[in-house]
Amino acid sequence: MRIWQADFYRRPLQDETGKPLWELLICDSARIFQLSAFCPQSQANSDWLIAQLQQQSQTKSLPDIIQVFRPQSLSLIEAAAKKLGIKVEATRRTAALKSLLQERAKEYPSMPNYTRENYSPIALDSPPSVPLPENLWGESWRFASLRAGDMEEAFQGRPIPILEMPELLLPLNFGLASTVPVPGVVIDGGRQSMRLARWLHDAKPFSLNYIAGAPDGLILEAGLADRFVVATFEDSEVKAAAEIYEQRKQISKGLHFLLVQPDDSGVTYTGFWLLN
């Protein structure tokens, strides 16, 4: 399956009339294939994108999937891709493209049409966190951990309705020793277990982070830029456990998990996500 990662957005550059320039950046996951093309803001539309992709089709096969991480790019790329029969996947997991964007950002200051404006190549506007819908709250939750070497055996091959263990997030691909504890959060959903798991599946979890505050909280990063409050707490013991959770994330190179189950029997699981 051919997968490209793409970004189409304005850069800290301007054309000869002083209007912003947009840039289309495309690469594959190994960055063997890379494409850069500039576009005046007045022409930044799906027709221009279609022309660029069709031009590429003259020398190479178009992809089956284009991955997009920037919300402002999504609708334009979707419109162009639809006309060419290409599927678009909205995902934050575009490491190759983000690396390319950061490298390109270092080149812009040397260009004659550089605007000197503040520019963060992969930063996205982060909306305020919103609580999980009340009808999804489970019965309880807790921090947990699982040895990296036990992760695949514990969940792969089991009849779990929703299982998200992409190959790039497997502990082996992070170079983790089998004894490294991978931290996670377990939610006992009770009767809401399946409803919660389905909602999470649609929300596309990306990471689950402890945020110190008053009160402290667990914030789920999901979709391209969504943020949800999974839990809040003021208990000192829970706060200490949350700090250990974040420390373990550093040891596991950011790898962590979210598990939803109907109860704490350990017999059945409803949903499992590897996160990073």
pLDDT at residue number 137: 84
pLDDT category of residue 236 using cuts at 50, 70 and 90: very high
266 pLDDT above the threshold of 80? no
pLDDT category of residue 245 using cuts at 50, 70 and 90: very high
127: helix, strand or coil = coil
Among candidates 79, 23, 89, which has minimal Cα distance to 50? Answer: 79
Give the integer Cα–Cα distance in Å for 220 and 81.
30
Give the integer Cα–Cα distance in Å for 245 and 228.
18
pLDDT at residue number 158: 86
Q: Are strands 140-147 and 181-188 parallel, antiparallel or unpaired?
A: antiparallel
pLDDT above 70: percentage of residues in the chain: 100
What does the block give as tokens for 250? Answer: 């550093």
Phi, then psi, of 205 in degrees rounded to 5: -60, 140
pLDDT at residue number 27: 97
Q: Write the CB contacts of 30 (distance below 8 Å, at least 6 apart in sequence).
A: 96
What does the block give as tokens for 15? Answer: 């054309």
Average pLDDT of the chain to the nearest whole number: 94
pLDDT at residue number 135: 83
| Number of Cβ within a 10 Å radius of residue 1 | 6
138 pLDDT above the threshold of 90? no
Q: How confident is the model over 207-230, as pLDDT tens digits?
A: 999 999 889 999 999 999 999 999
Q: How confident is the model over 104-131, as pLDDT tens digits?
A: 999 999 999 999 999 999 999 888 999 9
Tabulate helix, strand, coil % of the chain (nearest 5): 35, 35, 35
pLDDT at residue number 58: 87
Q: Report how far apart the first and last C-alpha atoms of the chain are (Å, whole number).
A: 24
pLDDT category of residue 162 using cuts at 50, 70 and 90: very high
39 pLDDT above the threshold of 90? yes
Structural domains present in the chain = 3-110 (3.30.420.10), 131-275 (no CATH)
Phi, then psi, of 171 in degrees rounded to 5: -50, -35
Q: How confident is the model over 82-109, as pLDDT tens digits?
A: 999 999 999 999 999 999 999 999 999 9
Range 178-194 average pLDDT: 95
Using alpha carbons only, what angle is made at residue 217 by residues 213 and 222, rounded to the nearest 5 degrees?
125
pTM over 0.95, yes/no:
no
Residue where the block lists tokens 């945020």: 211
Give the integer Cα–Cα distance in Å for 262 and 161.
12
